[in-house]
Homo-oligomer: A and B are copies of this chain.
């Protein structure tokens, strides 16, 4: 049997994992078993789902030591970062458990029968239900938070969908250990078979997306692979939604006033956001716009030095390093682009980044100058005027985030700039940096193409909506309805005859 290997990118050491590739027949069996779990999950109700999510939080926490050590060896990310990421997963499972208990996500609505100018209108009751089994593709750069233990898993389980995980090839042992933790959680609440499954091997991905029993796909990864899988999803006999988080440049714009006011911290703070986790975050600033002139030059010099001076970091894999070197090479070769302050990769085996910054004048910027590249690296663009800045910004692809550093009270003078950044991103950050995504109710992790292909978020409570679809009941006997649609149910917020009503407990608080 072919088994997967695991490579420590810090040393290049290859380990046999003993994990076999999931064969085609097994993938189909897994998908069908997942389909058969949909009803059983629905029958257990919301309370059980939140118990399962809390058990997932508990078992993730219980597995911390092994999980972090395994992930460190497979990704080259630091234990500090991995511990934070694991904590995020624990809190994320708990947040979704809270959201399941709260019940708003069901969007329960009741329109009682009435007489309208069109005649008698029947009783209509609407609620959201699971879309069915969901295939989830983890990404290499978040071995926990966008992988087996990640937000898509939490959101799908919260939605009542069976989850089939496609393990990422760059961290198979982390995936397996993570999945073991989830299985312990599932067993602790006597979950039916098929609630959680995992498949291994690159080929399983395309098959999963094509499996008839799979009804939606959550994907975090490259634009190229995402587009390929999206095409498979669209061409199926039964097309299914494909939710892709695909690519993001995350422009950061610094105004002259902002630079004047915070020259002492901005270069180093920006560099920390660029170089943190080896610059391998979807929200890493890939381009920073600063005003031309003395202050701008000083920013460029200090920013470049800080990026180059960041602690050496291994790439997630040899492939990530290759892609990085190629992309940077192409960008460096564009007319008008200059490479500065390059820190050479250390010669210590494994896949280590050389960090650096490129610079270009806004006048020389073209759509080709800026590519997404995972690594401790950014392009600095100097601009002469707001007009030139606005024009340059249209050459940056729409992104998950856009960031603006303003002077105090300066926003009124930059209306057009703020609107441009808002139109071209899913999250606008003021006077901060886009890395470090808060997982909460209001978070939105999404954005216009090519950052995603979705009108939904892939982070935060609202990401559940991707895996839910409505059903309406017309003149149904009470006994047939989900509990939450009974007239006397007061446990969740609902809209009754067009009026939003809070849950009973909330009303009295």
Complex Cα distance A450/B237, Å? 9
Considering only residues 111-158 of chain A, those with a C-beta below 8 Å from chain B are: 111, 116-118, 121-122, 124-126, 131
Complex Cα distance A107/B126, Å? 18
Residues B476 and A430 in contact, CB atoms below 8 Å apart:
yes
> Which residues of chain B are within 8 angstroms of A258 by Cβ–Cβ distance?
none
Range class of the A interface residue count: 35 or more
**A348 part of interface (Cβ distance < 8 Å):** no
Complex Cα distance A422/B129, Å? 11
| CB nearest neighbor in B for A43 | B419
Residues B104 and A429 in contact, CB atoms below 8 Å apart:
no
**A178 part of interface (Cβ distance < 8 Å):** no
How far does the Cβ of A61 sit from chain B's closest Cβ, in whole Å?
11
**A241 part of interface (Cβ distance < 8 Å):** yes
**A264 part of interface (Cβ distance < 8 Å):** no
> Which residues of chain B are within 8 angstroms of A1 by Cβ–Cβ distance?
none
Residues A473 and B241 in contact, CB atoms below 8 Å apart:
no
| CB nearest neighbor in B for A445 | B472
Residues A475 and B91 in contact, CB atoms below 8 Å apart:
no
Complex Cα distance A109/B99, Å? 14
Complex Cα distance A495/B107, Å? 14
**A256 part of interface (Cβ distance < 8 Å):** no
**A250 part of interface (Cβ distance < 8 Å):** no
Q: Residue-by-residue, is A223-261 near B (CB-CB < 8 Å gives 1, otherwise 0)?
A: 000000011001100111100000000000000000000
Given contacts A88-B118, A472-B427, contact A234 B230 (CB under 8 A): yes
> Which residues of chain B are within 8 angstroms of A126 by Cβ–Cβ distance?
441-444, 462
Given contacts A91-B117, A440-B121, contact A449 B506 (CB under 8 A): no
A239 partner, pick from B230, B476, B495, B499, beta carbons under 8 A: B230
> Which residues of chain B are within 8 angstroms of A446 by Cβ–Cβ distance?
469-470
Complex Cα distance A241/B456, Å? 11
**A385 part of interface (Cβ distance < 8 Å):** no
> Which residues of chain B are within 8 angstroms of A474 by Cβ–Cβ distance?
427-430, 432, 434, 438
Considering only residues 415-438 of chain A, those with a C-beta below 8 Å from chain B are: 418-419, 422-423, 425-432, 434, 438
**A294 part of interface (Cβ distance < 8 Å):** no
Given contacts A477-B411, A500-B104, contact A444 B471 (CB under 8 A): yes
Complex Cα distance A440/B124, Å? 8
**A490 part of interface (Cβ distance < 8 Å):** no
Complex Cα distance A91/B235, Å? 38
Identify the interface centre among A406, A425, A429: most chain B CB within 10 Å of its CB.
A429
**A412 part of interface (Cβ distance < 8 Å):** yes
Q: Residue-by-residue, is A74-101 near B (CB-CB < 8 Å gives 1, otherwise 0)?
A: 0000000000100110010000001000
A470 partner, pick from B91, B104, B457, B469, beta carbons under 8 A: B457
> Which residues of chain B are within 8 angstroms of A25 by Cβ–Cβ distance?
none
How far does the Cβ of A151 sit from chain B's closest Cβ, in whole Å?
14
Complex Cα distance A448/B290, Å? 50
User: Which A residues contact B (CB, under 8 angstroms)?
Assistant: 39, 84, 87-88, 91, 98, 102, 104, 107, 109-111, 116-118, 121-122, 124-126, 131, 230-231, 234-235, 238-241, 406, 411-412, 418-419, 422-423, 425-432, 434, 438, 440-444, 446, 449-450, 453, 455-457, 462, 465-466, 468-477, 479-480, 493, 495, 497-500, 502, 506
Task: Other than A124-B427, A231-B235, A446-B469, give 8 A-B pairs with Cβ distance below 8 A.
Answer: A110-B442, A418-B480, A425-B471, A430-B474, A430-B480, A441-B495, A444-B472, A499-B506
Q: 16 A-B pairs, CB-CB below 8 angstroms?
A: A102-B498, A111-B440, A111-B442, A122-B432, A124-B438, A230-B234, A238-B450, A426-B469, A426-B470, A426-B471, A428-B474, A455-B469, A455-B470, A462-B470, A500-B502, A502-B502
